[in-house]
Amino acid sequence: MDVTQGLGAYPAIIGWLKGCGVPAWLAEILYRVGAGLLVLTLISILALVLVYMLRKVMGHMQCRLGPRVTGPFGLLQTVADALKLMQKEDIIPAQVDRPVFILAPYLVFLSCGMIFMVLPLSPTWILNDLDVGLLFFIAFGSLAAFGLLMAGWGSNSKYSLVGGMRSVAQVVSYEVPMVLALLGAVMLAGTLSTQEIVRAQSGTWLGFLPRWFIFLQPLGFIIYFLCGLAETGQTPFDLPEGESELVAGYNTEYSGMRFALFFLAEFGNTFAISAMATTLFLGGWHGPVFSFLPWLWPFVWFMVKAMALTFCIMWVRSTWLRFRIDQMMDFAWKILVPLALLNIFVSAGEVALIRWIGG
C-alpha cells in the first residue's frame, strides 16, 4: 500500500469529495488542508486544557495560590496567561540570523502537528493509518530537535546556543532507547501500523486479563515513558531550558506568538507521548462499549488513558528535581540502552512462547 494514501479517514473523505464531483487533485488538496486545520485546532484546544491542568496540578502540589484561587476553580489564571501572551510584542533582536530565527518555532510546531496524523483516537478516527505509522511518529518527533537547535543558533545568544545544543544531545541520546523500547510492541503486534497495533491488543490474556502489551512489556513501557519525558524536555530532563543557568534556554530571545508556538508544541508533544504510550501498551481505544453512543466510547477510553498518563507526567514535573547534564547522559547510555536491549531479547522469547501455545 502507498504510505501516502493510508487508511483511516482518508478513503472515506476522499471518496465523498469525489462523489460530490470534486476533481481528484482538488479533493487531495482539500483533505490535506482540512487535516492540517483540524490538527491545529486540536493542538490549540489541548494546549488550553493542558495548561489549565498543569496549573492545577502544580498549584495543589506546590501550594501555588494563583491557579487555585484566581476565579472559579482557578480558570481565570489560564485566561490571564493567554491575554498576557497575546499582548506581548513580537521582538526580533537586531543581531540574530533572521531566516533561521523566524523559521525555528514553525519547524518545532510542524513536528508536533505531523505526529498527530497517525494517532488512532478510535477505530475510525485517525487521519492516516500508514503501514509505517510508528516510524512516521518517530521520524517527525525527532524533527523538533532541528528547530530547537535553529532557535539556539539563530538567536545569537550564548544562553540560547547552549540550550539548543543540549536539546540535540538529549533528543539524540534518548531516541535510541525509545526506539529500542518500542520494538517490543512491534514484535508482539507484527506491524508498524498504529491502528493495527491497537487491534492486536483486543481480547484477553488467560481469559480475564486485558490483552494490553503493558502486561508483557512493563520494562518497555517504563523505558518509553522515561524517554518521553526527555524527548519533550519535561522535568527532570528540562536542561535545554534550565532557568537557573540558561535564563530560558533556546527560547530566551523569543517573545509574542513565536514564544507561544514553542509551548504549544511542548504541550502537544506531551499529549502525543501519552497517546502513543496508550496506543502501544495500554490497549489504545479498547474498553467497555455501552449501547448508548457506541461510536463515542472508544474515543472516550483512549482520552481517559492518555490524560491519565499526562497527569503522571505533570506529577513528575511538579515533584522531581532537575538532573545534571552528565547524569542525564549517563542515564540514557549506561542504563536505559542496556535495559532496552534486554527488553528486545525478552520480547523475542515472549513472541516465541505465544506462537508455541497458539495465542
Strand partners, 210: 204
Going by C-alpha positions, the residue among 9, 64, 49 that lies closest to residue 31 is 9
pLDDT of 267 over the 70 cut: yes
pLDDT of 81 over the 80 cut: no
Residue 262 forms part of a structural domain: yes
**Nine cell digits for residue 79:** 485566561
Burial classification of residue 43, based on how many CB atoms lie within 10 Å of its CB (0-12 exposed, 13-18 middle, 19 or more buried): buried
**Strand, coil or helix: 217:** coil
pLDDT of 335 over the 90 cut: yes
d(CA 263, CA 257): 10
Confidence (pLDDT) at 243: 66
Q: What is the mean pLDDT of residues 68-94?
A: 74
Residue 7 forms part of a structural domain: no
Confidence (pLDDT) at 28: 73
Residue 37 forms part of a structural domain: no
pLDDT of 6 over the 90 cut: no
- Tell me which residue range forms the domain holding 175: 94-357
Q: What is the mean pLDDT of residues 34-38?
A: 76
244: confidence class by pLDDT, cuts 50, 70, 90: low
What total of structural domains would you count in the chain? 1
d(CA 300, CA 288): 10
Q: What is the mean pLDDT of residues 57-79?
A: 74
Q: Alpha carbon 322 to chain centroid distance?
A: 21
12: confidence class by pLDDT, cuts 50, 70, 90: low
**Strand, coil or helix: 145:** helix
| Residues with Cβ within 8 Å of residue 272, at least 6 apart in sequence | 112, 115, 116, 119, 137, 141
**What does the H/E/C string look like for 71-130?**
CHHHHHHHHHHHHHHHHCCCCCCCCCCHHHHHHHHHHHHHHHHHHHHHCCCCCCCCCCCC
Which residue is listed with cell 530532563?
A: 237
- Give the CA distances from residue 329 to residues 243, 244, 249, 334, in Å, rounded to whole numbers and listed in that order: 19, 19, 18, 8
Confidence (pLDDT) at 274: 93
Residue 30 forms part of a structural domain: no
Helix locations, 211-255, DSSP H: 218-231, 243-246
Percent share of the chain, pLDDT over 70: 91
Residue 56: other Cβ atoms inside 10 A: 19
Going by C-alpha positions, the residue among 274, 211, 6 that lies closest to residue 124 is 6
Percent share of the chain, pLDDT over 90: 22
Q: What is the mean pLDDT of residues 309-337?
A: 88
9: confidence class by pLDDT, cuts 50, 70, 90: low
Residue 106 forms part of a structural domain: yes
* Least confident window among 24-38, 263-277, 317-331: 24-38
Confidence (pLDDT) at 7: 45
Angle (nearest 5°) at CA 237 between 235 and 238: 70
Identify which of 6-10, 14-18, 267-271, 306-310 has the greatest average pLDDT. Answer: 306-310
Residue 89 forms part of a structural domain: no
- Give the CA distances from residue 195 to residues 17, 210, 236, 237, 259, in Å, rounded to whole numbers and listed in that order: 24, 17, 32, 30, 34
Residue 339 forms part of a structural domain: yes
pLDDT digits (tens, 9 = 90+) for 154-207: 888 878 888 888 888 888 889 899 999 999 999 999 899 999 999 998 877 777
- Give the CA distances from residue 233 to residues 17, 95, 103, 105, 242, in Å, rounded to whole numbers and listed in that order: 41, 27, 20, 15, 10
Confidence (pLDDT) at 245: 65
pLDDT of 5 over the 50 cut: no
How many CA atoms, within 13 angstroms, populate the side-chain half-sphere of residue 147? Answer: 23
Which residue is listed with cell 540574530?
A: 96
Report the greatest alpha carbon distance in the chain. 68
More confident call, 244 vs 264: 264
Residue 202 forms part of a structural domain: yes
pLDDT of 226 over the 70 cut: yes
**Strand, coil or helix: 210:** strand
Q: What is the mean pLDDT of residues 118-123?
A: 87
Q: What is the mean pLDDT of the chain?
A: 82
Confidence (pLDDT) at 265: 84
